[in-house]
Structure 1
Amino acid sequence: MTLRLLIAMLAVSPLALAANLGALRADEVALWAAPVEGRAVFDEHRADAAMNPASTMKLVTAWAALNRLGPGYRWRSELKSNAVQENGVLRGDLYWIGRGDPRFDSARLTELLRQLRLRGVQRIDGQLLLDKRAFSRISSADGFDGDAERVFSVPPDTHLSNLKVAWLRYFYEQGRPQVVLDPPLPAFRLDNRLQPGGAASCGDVREHAAVSISGNSIRVSGKLPPACDGTASYVNVLDNDGYAGQSFAAIWQMLGGEGPRGIAQGSTPPDARQLVRLDSEPLPQALNDINKYSNNTMARSVWLTLGAENPHSGDTVADAQLAVRSLLLERGIAAEPLQLENGAGLSRRERISARQLGAILLDAARGPYAAEFIASLPLASEDGTLRRRFAELGPRLRLKTGTLGDTRALAGYWQAPSGQRLAIVALLNSARAAQLQGALDALVGDVVERYAAQLQRQP
């Protein structure tokens, strides 16, 4: 008689079956799993240990945002002025009020300025002033200087556009490789030293095109294969205010506008009238980008928005933390051992337990915004950060991934053909984490297999 059969006959809790840790040491990993439609825990191992969750912390931010902001929440960008407008000239300063829209890009800025042109403004005879009061301060993400080439660590900002990235777009014209800067950024000169030739295929265009930046010159050199036509790579060349101002100037000129005379920061005066307002797409669109592709900058923007829209102390970061902790209290979820820094998991300090994150997953799946929350998670073997993982389980498995140098993490749901769902959290903190991703995947697979077997045994 097998152990599994004996357990089935005696109706012993599946917790009696220890998780198969495989190559994982017991002190490296924390595990928790429970059915969404049930009340008992299915499996756990060190479930109360404080662990670095890496990007699975984004699930906490997404859950809090849906509950505190609502799925209909939109970020509003505005242009205001108290200057006189006559004969197509705005005779004074223009105020751009930014609120940290995480998906704001060149297309949105173009629409904002197109509407300004439709109001009859052709020349801005004053400065462009950035009103940045929505965020009193930006939460930290310290300790990643050495990871600059491996993690996307652009900080959030009230006027973040295109994630502060300028694209080098490559193409061929009359047999010669060309490159353009998108957006054009008037302060920079593009020095194209590319030569035709090279490999038969393109692969990663950065292997063929070397980019160097000196002052206001961006030099691109190398041998560009014709197969690289239509590819792109990004450069990070300006601070947030500089990028916003340069993007504004480039697009405004493209639309036939003149000015402004300069760019600075400034608070919108009380008597300023609204010239243009533009609302973002609803919150779930941002959450899909954040969770499927693990975008740190966008997650941090949502986190700060929680503080900005739920003001208590006036400190955006402290108010964001309070928004999460008060929600935990309302839902009866333990407040410890949660430690928050920026809500994105791009942190050496953030901590959570597998049980605490699991309780949040259960609350999310049982709540009114379950569809929006679950839809934001990557589908195994199909999209996002799970596109090449868990092929044997397929899209019935939806998991948010987490990756740092010493951390690998998985958290989400598996849905049985019968519709029953299992919430799963697996957190690995170890100096050898990079070598153990396969073992962590196997651990999650083992939990799903055992849960599926239990469902089959049920009458």
Structure 2
Amino acid sequence: MTRTVCARRASRPLSSLLLSGVAALLLTACTTSQPPAPSPAAKPAPPAREAEPDVPDGRDLDATSAPVKQTAEPEVRPARMGPPLTHEDAQAARQLIRAHGFAPQDVGFLVTDLPGRELAAHNARQAFIPASVAKLPTAVAALELLGGDHRFDTRMTATAQPRAGRLDGDLWLVGGGDPLLGADGLVHLCRDLHRAGVRQVIGDFYYDTTLYQERRAIRDDQPMTAGYNPGVSALSINFNRLPVRWGTGAPSDPEAWTLPSVPSVSLSLRRRSPQGQESGDWLPDGNGWQLSTGARGYGQDSLPLKHPAQVAAEATRQVCQRMGVKLPAPEPGTAPSEARALAEHPSPPLHEAVRSMLRYSNNLVAELIGLAAGRQLTGQPLGSSQSAIAVGQWYARTLPQTDWARFDPGNHSGLNAAGRVTPAELAAILRFAHDRRYGQAQRTLMELLPTVGLDGGLGRRLQTPDTAFAVFAKTGTMNFVSGLAGYLPTQTGRARMFAIFVNDKPLRRAYDANPRAAVWGRQAGDWRNRAKDLEAALVRLWTDPTRRREAVPTAMLQRSE
């Protein structure tokens, strides 16, 4: 099955970076400051103290139809506060951006200390597409509003009590928005149902997803076959991906199956020429898939679920059958308010889900966590876009000293080319969360973020010994969109906050208008490598002052003219 994921090359290390005079981009030491007043769900800091990567949404294209670049170049301005940038420093920043092949308006960054002094800034209040960097605002809002120890409960409820092994009434499987629900959770539910005395349900078996609005995909304008674009439901299972295997057997008798086999997902195979590759095509009937078997005639993959709650209920029925509890075929339905729980499965604490979401950049986990925050704010079963608006309004109330007029991520995961966030908004969120501790484990946001070193975080960015444990950040990547935001620890014990965005909005619009054109692949790959190289160059500069006098390679300067 063809994966709609753009391949990445490792970032090319620059043999030398930057002209002399970039000293103004070097950061001064941070000083301590009192954090904002805590919300009730979070604990203030004590005095002492698929795997899913960042997935581009592209397919291979060629570069001939790219729009002409605008040549107008906004001024590279000094930061408004803190040590001012000289004219020479501003010129050096311009040359750094141009050396990587970008126009000044394509790049924005901001670095601050904890009190909020701006140490380096460029287009800091310009709105950029955040991609998966949008998961940072989602994480902080959820931790603040729900608390680090919050758990999402999946329940089995009924209005009757079992007698002699029979439940003479209906049973409801009620989704609680658990972003990590898997087979272990279904075993837990069926075991507890058995312990409650249920061996057979005489009535109907319903699944209830009314906690949130359901969607067949995170974004309808993204590939429906992409694993990073599954359906969204309060009753989700296995990150809403279903394993599939296929084999041809006899040439005229191909077969395919899912694990588990569920009635609501149909599969068919069609043979391709030996030169073909495995691919998966979403059938428009709403329940089916057609897989091209390719040259091998056998293989495996996982399919994004477009009706995850039904699959979760069908899988629950199978697990319960194995454990001695007979359930009828599931149907959608709303549990009555008077129903009482016969079985309940709590998720791991929220801070664990947040760490997993930030580390693996899982879009579904981000959407479910964000929907929980939106429901906490409004009491309503919102969709992702409305929930993201509610979270933005909460930030505006919580951090009124920041201008939130441009904050519009569009959803909670960043899988949205129409989303917009400014570097200044991201830096404000990072400052707010710096000294916050969440849950009994007293986890900080910096602890939950990926880092370079040991855990292999940040993808292929900054993977050299000199940057080990120097950067704790969230990445963001789409075709012609890149971002990096997080913390740069210092020996003072107070980190610096930074946010970098690189966008080519005209190219992104051209791509969105014709994503299947044949030329985008090479152009998108080259663009992505240059963007990540630029991000790495800026971070290295901010973490290693000795780099300020390294020269930009002449070839790069000539190419950027």
Q: TM-score, normalised by structure 2?
A: 0.67
Query: What is residue 104 of structure 2 aligned with on the other side?
Result: 26
Change (3 A) 1:179 1:149: closer
Q: Does 1:60 align with 2:151?
A: no
Structure 1 residue runs without a partner (length 5+): 172-177, 199-205
3-state DSSP class of the match of 1:288? helix
Q: Which amino acid aligns with 1:46?
A: N
Cα offset for 1:273?
2.3
Query: What is residue 444 of structure 2 aligned with on the other side?
Result: 372
Query: What is residue 53 of structure 2 aligned with on the other side?
Result: none
User: 2: CA distance between counterparts of 1:123 and 1:137?
Assistant: 30
Alignment partner of 2:310 out of 239, 242, 252: 242
Query: What is residue 154 of structure 1 aligned with on the other side?
Result: 230
Query: What is residue 356 of structure 2 aligned with on the other side?
Result: 289
Q: Does 1:15 align with 2:82?
A: no
Q: How does 1:438-449 map to 2 (within 5 A)?
A: 438-449=529-540
Cα offset for 1:245?
2.5
Change (3 A) 1:154 1:433: same
3-state DSSP class of the match of 1:390? coil
Q: Structure 1 residues 390-399 or 110-119, which shifts more? A: 390-399
Change (3 A) 1:258 1:428: same
3-state DSSP class of the match of 2:172? strand
Change (3 A) 1:425 1:112: same
Answer whether contact 1:188 1:216 (CA < 8 A) is retained: yes
Change (3 A) 1:237 1:359: closer
Q: Which amino acid aligns with 1:102?
A: P
3-state DSSP class of the match of 2:301? strand
User: 1: CA distance between counterparts of 2:221 and 2:410?
Assistant: 14
Cα offset for 1:255?
1.5
Query: What is residue 411 of structure 2 aligned with on the other side?
Result: 342
User: 2: CA distance between counterparts of 1:237 and 1:442?
Assistant: 36
Answer whether contact 2:541 2:547 (CA < 8 A) is retained: no
Q: Does 1:35 align with 2:94?
A: no
Cα offset for 1:119?
1.4
Q: Structure 1 residues 432-441 or 269-278, which shifts more? A: 432-441
Q: Which amino acid aligns with 1:376?
A: L
| Cα deviation digits, residues 224-246 of structure 1 (max 9, x gap) | 79xx9xx9521346622331222
User: 2: CA distance between counterparts of 1:221 and 1:314?
Assistant: 41
Cα offset for 1:144?
2.7
Q: Does 1:88 align with 2:141?
A: no
| Cα deviation digits, residues 144-203 of structure 1 (max 9, x gap) | 34x3455611132011111222213699xxxxxx99742232566889999xxx9xxxxx
Structure 2 residue runs without a partner (length 5+): 1-19, 27-81, 248-254, 508-522, 549-561
Q: Which amino acid aligns with 1:83?
A: A
RMSD: 3.7
| Equivalenced residues, count | 429
Alignment partner of 2:191 out of 114, 139, 143: 114
User: 2: CA distance between counterparts of 1:368 and 1:187?
Assistant: 43
Cα offset for 1:297?
1.2
Q: TM-score, normalised by structure 1?
A: 0.81
User: 2: CA distance between counterparts of 1:80 and 1:267?
Assistant: 11
Cα offset for 1:101?
0.7
User: 2: CA distance between counterparts of 1:61 and 1:295?
Assistant: 12
User: 1: CA distance between counterparts of 2:266 and 2:216?
Assistant: 34
User: 1: CA distance between counterparts of 2:281 and 2:478?
Assistant: 28
User: 1: CA distance between counterparts of 2:155 and 2:130?
Assistant: 36
Q: Which amino acid aligns with 1:437?
A: R
Q: How does 1:356-395 map to 2 (within 5 A)?
A: 356-369=425-438, 371-380=443-452, 382-383=454-455, 386-392=458-464, 393-395=467-469
Change (3 A) 1:427 1:118: same
Change (3 A) 1:156 1:110: same
| Cα deviation digits, residues 387-424 of structure 1 (max 9, x gap) | 43211222321221111223111111222456452222
Cα offset for 1:216?
7.5
User: 1: CA distance between counterparts of 2:265 and 2:142?
Assistant: 38
Change (3 A) 1:246 1:373: same
Query: What is residue 268 of structure 1 aligned with on the other side?
Result: 335
Between structures 1 and 2, the one with greater strand share: 1
